[in-house]
Chain A
Amino acid sequence: MYDAVVIGAGPAGYVSAIKMAHLGLKVAVVEKEHAGGTCTNKGCIPTKALLVSSHMYHEAKNKAKRLGVNVQGVSYDFKAIRSHMQRAINTSRKGVEYLFKKNGIDYVKAEARIEKPGVVRAGDQTLQTRAILIATGSKPTIFPPFDQVEGIWTSDDVFKAEALPESILIVGGGVIGVEMGAFMGMLGAEVHIVEIMDHILPGEDQDIADVVKKSLTAIGVKIYESSKVTKVEKRGEAFVATIETPKETFDLRVSRVLLSVGRRPNIGEDVKELGIAVEKGIVTDDHLRTSVEGIYAAGDVRAKIMLAHVGFHEGIVVAYNIKGQEKKVDLSVVPSVIYTSPEVSSVGIREKDMDGERHGVAKFPVAASGRAAAMGEREGFAKVIYEKDTGRVVGFSMVGPFASELVMEAAVAIKHGLTVEQLASTIHPHPTISETLLGAFEQAEGKAIHL
């Protein structure tokens, strides 16, 4: 008899299992594919591995000379890039399996099926348990007309590709589309990105997206905003797509089409048969309990915020609740990161969503930072949104070097109600890009010293 059976070894599931083991519970995890889930195998980790290769290639080709480094005959080997990616995946996957072993968690590689509350069928085993956690994740969305055409890629297929496509149409200019476009564009593929909203990265502010757009355009990526793909068909080995932009409608011939328009939760038949409430994803309360007693859900399957670190948080919340120590999910402060060059990060309120009466906004450019000058980087800025009467930080966005790592200063500030004065009076090390944040905090206070 287990205390908990976790279905799915992705971020929500594996973290929950480990946390439950730490809390002294007896746990089994059932996984039909690979430990680490989408993040490790078809998401965060492989994408970042690919982007590290393409970025290094791009810098060797375009930036090294300016820094006084002569690199001759720069080329890339797609197979070797893939092995680097595979090595990153293996390390991450094995890392999760190792943690299962170390924490005494039973890892069952099989497809799971919930027979009834307290009973999970995993391959030929029947597991009896006190609680069940559904953490079955999500998969890329495909809809008409794209599902009618054979050979359309989703992000899953990019990781299986044997070679770089000569040309590619990316439908959807969100995080996945833009990261994939950056990867292939840097390696020299002809990349077209079509975004239905009025700018790429529609979750972010326009000024942030504009910096990314400029960098993508500089490597030759074609971007069509407020545009859509109305038709796509296969002609021989190629695809012909009809693109409708505000100005014109035209046909585009490409060797590949990648659909990156979002993800939908993996909801099994067992969930429906058990009568677990489902809307967009599995419905839960703040304690991540589903409508059926003894069954919890966490991560992408809830269709709330589909990010690995949200899954981590939710997994931990479930672990405490199964242990009997009440804990509520809190998604009020969730940093998000986009690994373009330059990188983008955000947390809290965006400028476009702020209340002009109550909130103020202050920006500081990357170009004014000494570290950026030393790095030969000019593009980007940090932006802080704060409450005018209290000075409390409520939102932050950044585009620039190391934006992915720097967002946490703002996340801590927002989560704990720190003010721009408190942050500005904290000594920031020089020369670092973190001074870009300092500049924005000073600017919010009154006036930045270095501007």
Chain B
Amino acid sequence: MRKVVDGKIWVEVAEPVLVGVTKDFLEEIGDVTYVGFQKSAGDTVNKGDVIVSLETVKAAEEVVCPVSGKIVEVNKDLENDPEKLNEDPESVWLVKIEAAKEELESL
């Protein structure tokens, strides 16, 4: 099941939870030229923490974590190949998180 937060971030409710950014959001901020992860696998995150910074052709945007939990994996491939994100933002995840059920339900 997929939930969208603020029209910017999508959350795929699964185990673990996948987090990505929406096509609409990318269209607004422009093509991504660099994906900088602010957290690593194993880090504990709170809802609202910055997890990724996206540098685009006209802005630098921060992506905040929509749920609290523990980072299972970050999509390191994007560091070398941000183009993948531009091509298909709706299916390319940024981070995988082990998240609390209650928070997911309230999204």
Contacts and interface: CB of A to CB of B under 8 A. Distances in A.
B34 A98 contact: no
A70 interface: no
Q: Is the interface of A mostly helix, strand, loop or mixed?
A: helix
B2 interface: no
A95 B34 contact: no
Interface string A88-100: 0011001101100
A95 B55 CA distance: 11
Interface in A67-122: 87, 90-91, 94-95, 97-98
A98 B30 contact: yes
Contacts of B20: none
Nearest to A98: B57
Contacts of A87: 33-34
B90 interface: no
B85 to A, nearest CB: 12
Given A97-B31, A98-B30, A98-B31, A90 B58 contact: no
Interface residues of A, number: 7
A94 B58 CA distance: 10
B24 to A, nearest CB: 16
A209 B30 CA distance: 43
A404 to B, nearest CB: 23
A326 B31 CA distance: 36
Interface string B55-77: 10110000000000000000000
A389 B31 CA distance: 55
Contacts of A90: 33-34, 82
Contacts of B30: 98
A91 B58 CA distance: 9
Contacts of A94: 31, 33, 57
A401 to B, nearest CB: 27
A98 B33 CA distance: 11
Interface in B6-38: 30-31, 33-34
Contacts of A97: 31
Nearest to A102: B30
B37 to A, nearest CB: 14
Nearest to B82: A90
Nearest to B80: A83
Interface of B: 30-31, 33-34, 55, 57-58, 82
14 contacts: A87-B33, A90-B34, A91-B33, A91-B34, A91-B55, A91-B57, A94-B33, A94-B57, A95-B33, A95-B57, A95-B58, A97-B31, A98-B30, A98-B58
Interface of A: 87, 90-91, 94-95, 97-98
Closest 5 CB pairs of A and B: A91-B33, A98-B57, A95-B57, A94-B33, A90-B33
